[in-house]
Structure 1
Amino acid sequence: MLKARILTAIVMLAVLSVALTSFSTQAWIVFVTVIAALAGWEWGGLAGWSSTPRIAYGAGLGALLVLVSVISDLWAGTLSAPALLPFLLISIVFWVALAFPWLLRRWTLGRGLGAFVLGFVVVLPTALAMIILREVNVALLLAAMAVVWVADIAAYFSGRAFGRRKLAPAISPGKSWEGVYGAIVGVELYGLALVFAFDFELSVGLIILGALALVVLTAVSVVGDLFESLLKRQAGIKDSSGLLPGHGGVLDRIDSLTSTLPMVACAVLLLSV
């Protein structure tokens, strides 16, 4: 298992590196479309759908992503805030207003219209955010993704070292409040490292605002992780799929990104208006 995990990680890193640095805008959109379609197929598994509806759903989600990209001129490399913001805002509303009560009450996904719509709310804005942020700057997309990676790593080690109080034992028994605190500290240190590394000249107000924004992103990333964990537990599966040996499925790799990247992309578009 460890060997498969390491080999898969190497392949994923190599493919992502090439795609990020070498692909044209259109090729990157196609690359992200494949990821979104696979995530949609896995979502159908969480909903308990049979093979054909899962394939159709994944294909439909990918097709919708391409359609939105073309209609909004994102395919041509143009960032149109009025055309793209609604998709991102729908995602933010879900993660801020509905995801926490969903976890608290442990609602079920079901197999009907709710599951159908929610899959688009979770996956489509994430894919759009990946395209938007990469179009602005590859480094910006990597920096946003790194917030989640740093949070995960810091939470893991701080949880193992200091974890005493369970965060959500009925959903993910391994997570603790100490892990969350460690994630916040790790992400704040990461933010400071970026400020010093790139010699940003920021006012005290901007530093405080940035620190608060990182706390929010860290908290929302935890919610995204717990949300997928809940759906998998309710579906009676360990991983969203076996597409990535040793790592589970696509949704397992982007669970926290689904809640964070749309927020970052929304902020970037609003600042550019």
Structure 2
Amino acid sequence: MLLQRVITALVLMALLMPALLADSLLPFAALSLLMVGAAGWEWGRLNGLGAAGAVALGIAVALTCGAAWWTGWALAVPAIVWWLASAGWVIGGGLALRAGPPAWPHLPQVARLVLGWLMLSVAWLALTAAKQRGLGFILSAMCIVWAADIAAYFGGRALGRRKLAPSISPGKSWEGVWSGMVGVGLLAWGWMAAEKVWSVAGPSVFSALLAQRGLVLLVVGLIALCGLSVVGDLVESMAKRAAGAKDSSRLLPGHGGVLDRIDALLPVLPAVMALTAV
């Protein structure tokens, strides 16, 4: 299993890094479009669609994003889209998690599929917009999620006492969430310190938030982003638990599916764009 995880991670990095480093946005947009289409297929399977229906949902997600790119709309998304998406995640995600896995299948299937189509399409638009802001910006946005997840894992293992959502993800604890926030705070401090010495990758999310919103809102914003990363993770876990699935698919050997890797990014990316909208 460990060997599979390492090989898959190396292959993904070999594909992702050239696309991220390319001056043109097209390679990264195309690669991420393929991944978000695969995530749409997984979402369809988790929510009761058969093979053909799940493929159709994946294609619908990819076509929506592709149309936004073709018309040029993906390159100039209004800030209101990011704010509406973030509000939807806060309100809708909170309601869904409060109801729990037993209530999820009772939501009309069409509604669940439309929600998946929307959250994946908007996340792709935010990912593309973040890439336009520069390598430092998109990498720091992704690292917020990764740092929160890693710090939460180790903090939860060492300090975890109070369960966060036992019916959805028994391993998560409130102590893990707080550890994740501390981890992201340390990441932001270290990144901004490094930017003063070496800023070849361009401004990060952290320096953009500090410059545009000030120190207090930087701290509040990072706390909010950590919270949203947990919501994204739990919503996908809830859908899997309701479907009786351990992973969203087996597309990524050793890692599960695409959704398993991007679930926390889905709400965080639009929120990052909302918080740093000019």
TM-score, length of structure 1 as denominator length: 0.91
Residue equivalent to 1:179: 176
The residue that corresponds to 1:197 in the other structure is 194
After TM superposition, give the deviation of residue 243 of structure 1 in Å.
0.2
By how many angstroms is 1:23 displaced?
A: 6.4
CA distance in structure 1 between the aligned counterparts of 2:86 and 2:34, rounded to whole angstroms: 23
Give distance in 1, aligned partners of 2:23 and 2:114.
31
Which residue does 1:257 correspond to in 2? 265
Change beyond 3 A, Cα 1:23–1:7: farther
Corresponding residue SS for 2:49: coil
Give the whole-Å Cα distance in 1 for the aligned partners of 2:195 and 2:83: 30
Is 1:96 the counterpart of 2:90 in the alignment?
A: yes
Q: Does residue 118 of structure 1 match 2:115?
A: yes
Gaps of 5+ in 2: 197-206
Find out whether 1:246 has 2:254 as its counterpart.
yes
What is the distance in 2 between the residues matched to 1:242 and 1:87?
32
Task: State which of 209, 214, 224 in structure 2 corresponds to 1:206.
Answer: 214
Give yes or no for contact 1:163–1:177 (8 Å, CA) kept in 2: yes
Which residue in the other structure is 2:139 paired with? 142
Q: CA deviation at 1:261?
A: 0.5
Runs of 4+ in 1 over 4 A off after TM superposition: 200-203
Aligned-pair CA distance for 1:190: 0.8
Partner of 2:204: none
Aligned residue identity for 1:136: R
Counterpart CA distance in 2 for 1:127 and 1:12 is 17
Contact 1:151-1:187 at 8 Å conserved across structures = yes
The answer to whether the Cα contact below 8 Å between 2:162 and 2:174 also exists between their aligned partners in 1 is: yes
C-alpha distance in 1, partners of 2:13/2:223? 27
List gaps (5 residues or longer) in structure 1: none
1:250 deviation in Å? 0.4
Q: Distance in 2 between matches of 1:257 and 1:38?
A: 15
| Paired-residue identity, % | 40
Tell me which residue corresponds to 2:12: 12
SS of the residue corresponding to residue 89 of structure 1 reads helix
* Aligned Cα root-mean-square deviation (Å): 1.8
Q: CA deviation at 1:144?
A: 0.4
Does 2:49 match 1:49? yes
Provide Cα deviations, 1:202-232, integer angstroms capped at 9, x if missing partner: 68x7122111111000011001101101110
Alpha-carbon spacing, 1:12–1:36, altered in 2? closer, same or farther (3 Å): same
Counterpart for residue 157 of structure 1:
154
